Amino acid sequence: LAPSVPKLAQPAGTPLVHSSLPCYRKSRSCSHLASASSTAPGSTTMKPQPLLTNFIQSKEEYDALYARSIADPASFWGDVAEQFHWEKKWDPDHHSFNFDVTKGPINVEWFKGGFTNICYNALDRHVMTGHGNQHCMLFEGNEPGSDGAMTYTQVLDEVCRLANWMKAQGIGKGDCVAIYMPMVMQLPIAMLACARIGAVHSVVFGGFSADALAGRMEDCKARVLLTCNGGMRATKKIELKQIADQAIEMCASRGHTVDSVLVFANHKDGVAGAEAAGTPFTQGRDAWWQPTLAEFPALCDVAWVPAEHPLFLLYTSGSTGKPKGVLHTTGGYMVYAATTTKHAFQLQPGDVFWCTADCGWITGHSYLAYGPLLNRAVSVVFEGVPTHPTPARSWEIIDKYQVKQFYTAPTALRSLMRSGDEWLSSTSRQSLQVLGTVGEPINPEAWHWFHDLVGNGRCPVVDTWWQTETGGHMILPLPRAWPAKPGSATLPFFGVEPVILDDKGVELQGECEGLLMMRRPWPSTLRSVYGDHKRYEENYFGPYPGYYFTGDGARRDKDGYYWITGRVDDVINVSGHRIGTAEVESAIAAHHDCAEAAVAGYEHPVKGQGIYAFVVLKEGVVPNDQLKKEMWTNVRTTIGAFAAPDVIHWAPGLPKTRSGKIMRRVLRKIAGGQENELGDTSTLADPSIVRQLIETRN
Ligand code: ATP
Ligand code: MG
């Protein structure tokens, strides 16, 4: 690589440790050495009893551990981190931070002095302890019947081959590698291969355009791109390589060169030439994944990196503005992602775990790739969509693989609910033990459908509130430890200290509602916005000095449970009443004919703001005034007359980001009649919906 390529910074003054454990095979062939404990200088031989190895059984147990996590976070997380392999152990005073912009630059450090590798912990550790033949990933293709599986050993082999190929392209510690792939097993493999050699991955969701891919590759100066010829989502063919080529050209026209492209031949037998048919291919720059990697050794040394070594960059979904390149580092992210996965889902080694998120989003990073593998689970990778070929597909996959934990988004649940309950009847879903949701507040209607019908009333529903920036779950009900309340994410995870502020920045106590902030860092706090530390400081720490600002509003009830009320920008002020969008939406969606609702505020001459509701009806329901009345009544009786919508717009659909979130700023503009000021809508899944909404406005 050209020497001018900036590497993501190592923390100043930290020496690099070179591998003292050359490769996993050395240990694999010595199975009597079936221990991951380190022999490196500086590591301890006597490990303290690790913390959080067992599931939390009760609220009392949680309370005691939570108190400890807040009283002494460094020792708490140090004890949790004992479960992982550290090539060199962290310093006794490993944790430091500044969350107050008025006191200097914002910074967060965990496990300072420690050296580890997340790929080693996710793969080698399990192979070394005799679990190499256990399944690591199960692949379900777009079409029923197209499937596959890989064991931990097979995944490790492929990770090593890919890591060696990347090294041959000059990629090393701190270099950024772009990944643009559909949901195939090679996507998590690509992430792990980067981590193995200390490279920094930047996964770009496979549904993004050439423009979005180019912008992200330029931003992180990626000279290597890992991609795929194409993929299928339902009946739609996605020509990834064509889009990737356009993106590379765009980069070139702006002075950034992508030198090497490795192309995984999806749904093909892996023979070069066969794949080439129909796929654009540039000799000298492009190589086919399967035949190329077959030439590289399945052994690759681990790069031991400092705990604060950058692990990945990932852009937020762009619901509220231009996406931010969130930077996560190695040690804290590893410990936190693994620990939340284990406790949120009561995950045991060998469990078949299905997270439906794409690896293009943080949920796919933490709860499809890293979290499950760090816990030696079997992670399901699904290339298709839940409605193809029928809305029974998810339930069929659950039965087929005997999935124990199923983690999905409220938007997916609402769309399946909309198709009708009959799609559940051909499946049993008896294997399920824990259900989870993420991405948006889950309205009680969808919560009950998930709990009562999908889970047959047997499985706790874990509503996880968190963000790209937080790396892992922040507020969630630990299953079977305390009672859930549908629509509430309930209580903070260990080490997470939420604070509710009023808009003047005063901390509110007890039952209250306001801005959701965090007083202290947790291990997987974002460390920066890539290339723009100032934006990081201004965006997250500027609004209320001394706190991390989540951008979300929340209410705390008498039991201390948190209810996310929506984005702070979306709080509507009607005649002095502050109303969270989520509450109004839940009340409307409780009507059995409503498939989905989104509300936005608009300027109102009398009330300050009025409430404008976009309502999508279930299939086959004909809109009429009686329905409007019933929905109004629902809002009046559950919240109060002041929250009743001024306008109900029968919407053909809602503008959603490619991660399935409602882009509310677009709705606000439509509600306010400012359709000429829609702003950046490049992350919308279906931009045509905007025009349809404008046309159907009353
Ligand atoms: P951007 O930051 O670019 O606007 P984004 O916030 O949509 O994009 P993500 O990090 O993917 O990007 O989403 C995090 C947000 O999703 C949270 O801040 C919150 O608003 C919402 N969210 C996630 N999980 C939940 C949940 N369980 N309940 C309520 N809201 C949730
Ligand atoms: Mg956000």
pLDDT higher than 90, residue 390: yes
Interatomic CA distance for residues 555 and 562, integer angstroms? 6
**Mean pLDDT computed over 224-242:** 93
The yes-or-no verdict on residue 5 having pLDDT over 50 is: no
Q: What is the pLDDT of residue 330?
A: 98
**396-399 contacts at long range (C-beta below 8 A, 24 or more positions apart):** 396/144, 396/426, 396/427, 397/140, 397/354, 398/354, 398/427, 398/429, 398/431, 398/432, 399/427, 399/428, 399/429, 399/430, 399/431
Beta strand 548-556 with 507-508: parallel, antiparallel or unpaired? unpaired
Q: How far apart are the CA of 383 and the centre of ligand 1, in A?
A: 23
For ligand 1, say whether the CB of 468 is within 6 Å of any of its atoms.
yes
Beta pairing, strands 528-529 & 325-329: antiparallel
| 46 φψ region: left (φ > 0), alpha (ψ -120 to 50), beta (else) | beta
320 close to ligand 1 (CB < 6 Angstrom): yes
Predicted pLDDT of residue 19? 35
Residue bearing the bigger pLDDT, 24 or 610: 610
Q: How far, in Å, is the centroid of ligand 2 from the Cα of 321?
A: 9
CA 439 / ligand 1 centre spacing (Å): 5
State how far the Cα of 206 lies from the Cα of 135, in Å rounded to an integer.
Answer: 25
Distance 566 CA to ligand 1 centre (A): 9
Q: Read off the pLDDT band of 676 (50, 70, 90).
A: confident
Which one has a higher pLDDT value, 37 or 611? 611
pLDDT band at residue 17 using 50, 70 and 90 as cut-offs: very low
Report the alpha-carbon distance of residue 205 to residue 224 in Å, rounded. Answer: 16
The answer, yes or no, to whether any atom of ligand 1 lies below 6 A from the CB of 472, is no
Q: Counting atoms of ligand 1 from 1, which one is nearest the CA of 657?
A: 7
**Helix, strand, coil proportions of the chain in percent (round to 5)?**
35, 20, 45
Peptide bond into 306 cis (omega under 30): no
Residue nearest (by alpha carbon) to ligand 1 atom 26? 465
Q: Is 439 in the pocket of ligand 1 (CB under 6 A)?
A: yes
Q: Which residues of 495-505 are buried (b: 16+ CB within 10 A; e: fewer)?
A: bbbbbbbeeee
Assign 3 a pLDDT band (cuts: 50, 70, 90). Answer: very low
Candidates 314, 298, 433; CA nearest to 366 is: 314
Average pLDDT over all residues of the chain: 91
- Which atom of ligand 1 has the smallest separation from the CA of 476? 27
**Contact (Cβ atoms closer than 8 angstroms) between residue 475 and residue 490:** yes
Average pLDDT estimate for 570-577: 83
Q: Does the pLDDT of residue 12 top 70, yes or no?
A: no
Q: Which atom of ligand 1 is nearest to the CA of 582?
A: 29
Indicate whether 557 pLDDT > 90. Answer: yes
682 in ligand 1 pocket by Cβ < 6 Å?
A: no
408 lines ligand 1 (CB under 6 A): no
**Interface pTM (ipTM) of the complex?**
0.99
How far apart are alpha carbons 614 and 652 in whole angstroms?
9
Closest CA to 172 of 145, 196, 154: 196
Q: Report the relative pairing of strands 498-501 and 461-464 from DSSP bridges.
A: unpaired
Size (the chain), residues = 698
Strand pairing class (260-264; 224-228): parallel
Q: Is 569 marked active-site? A: yes
Which of 557, 569, 593, 646 does the annotation list as catalytic? 569
DSSP state of 614: E
Mutate to test the pocket of ligand 1, among 466, 563, 567 (most ligand atoms within 8 A of CB): 466
Q: Which atom of ligand 1 is nearest to the CA of 464?
A: 27
Quick one: average pLDDT of 14-24?
Answer: 37
The lowest-confidence range among 248-262, 307-321, 617-631 is 307-321
Q: Rounded to two decimals, what is the model's pTM?
A: 0.88
Cβ of 410 below 6 Å from ligand 1: no
Tell me what pLDDT residue 268 has: 52
Please tell me the distance between residue 316's alpha carbon and the centre of ligand 1 in angstroms: 9
